[in-house]
Amino acid sequence: MNTIPLRQTSLRNLHLLLRSAPRFVQDQFRPQSTTPSVNPTEVSHFNALASTWWDPNGSSRLLHLMNPLRHDFIQACHASQPVPPSSSNLKFLDIGCGGGIFAESVARLRSTGSVTAIDPSPEVLAIAKGHARRDPGLQGKLTYLNTSIEGLLPPKSIEEQYDVLSLFEVIEHITHPAEFLDSCTPFVKPGGWVVMSTIARTWASWLTTKVVAEDLIGIVPRGTHDWDKYIDEDELRGHFLKERGWNSPQVMGVVYVPGLGWKKVPCSEKAGNYFFGIRRDE
HSE at residue 224, side-chain half, CA atoms within 13 A, is 24
Interatomic CA distance for residues 208 and 205, integer angstroms: 5
DSSP 3-state of 57? coil
* Cross-strand bridge partners of residue 263: 255
End-to-end C-alpha distance for the chain, whole angstroms: 43
Interatomic CA distance for residues 246 and 63, integer angstroms: 28
CB of residue 62 to another protein, shortest distance in Å: 12
Count Cβ atoms below 10 Å from residue 223 Cβ, excluding itself: 13
Alpha carbon 267 to chain centroid distance? 20
* Interacting residues with another protein between 97 and 116 (CB under 8 A): 104-110
Stretch that binds another protein, among 134-142, 157-165, 189-197, 246-254 (CB under 8 A): 134-142
CB of residue 195 to another protein, shortest distance in Å: 14
User: Does 70 carry a binding-site annotation?
Assistant: yes
* Cross-strand bridge partners of residue 196: 167, 276
Interatomic CA distance for residues 181 and 179, integer angstroms: 5
User: Does 119 carry a binding-site annotation?
Assistant: yes
Task: Note whether 260 binds another protein by CB under 8 A.
Answer: no
User: Does 58 carry a binding-site annotation?
Assistant: no
Residues in the interface with another protein (CB under 8 A) total: 21
Task: Note whether 84 binds another protein by CB under 8 A.
Answer: no
HSE at residue 86, side-chain half, CA atoms within 13 A, is 13
Kindly state the helix (H) or strand (E) to which residue 245 belongs, with its residue range: none
Task: Note whether 139 binds another protein by CB under 8 A.
Answer: yes
Task: Note whether 281 binds another protein by CB under 8 A.
Answer: no
User: Does 169 carry a binding-site annotation?
Assistant: yes
Give the contacts of 271 (CB within 8 A, at least 6 positions apart): 200, 202, 204, 205, 253
Q: Residue 97 or residue 106: which is nearer to another protein going by CB? A: 106
* Interacting residues with another protein between 25 and 64 (CB under 8 A): 56, 64
Q: Residue 107 or residue 170: which is nearer to another protein going by CB? A: 107
Among 71, 222, 242, 263, binds another protein (CB under 8 A): 71
Q: Which residues sit in the known binding site for Mg(2+)?
A: 169, 172-173
Q: Which residues sit in the known binding site?
A: 70, 96, 119, 168-169, 172-173
Q: Which residues sit in the known binding site for S-adenosyl-L-methionine?
A: 70, 96, 119, 168
In the complex, the residues that contact another protein under the rule CB under 8 A are 56, 64-65, 67-68, 71-72, 104-110, 130, 133-137, 139
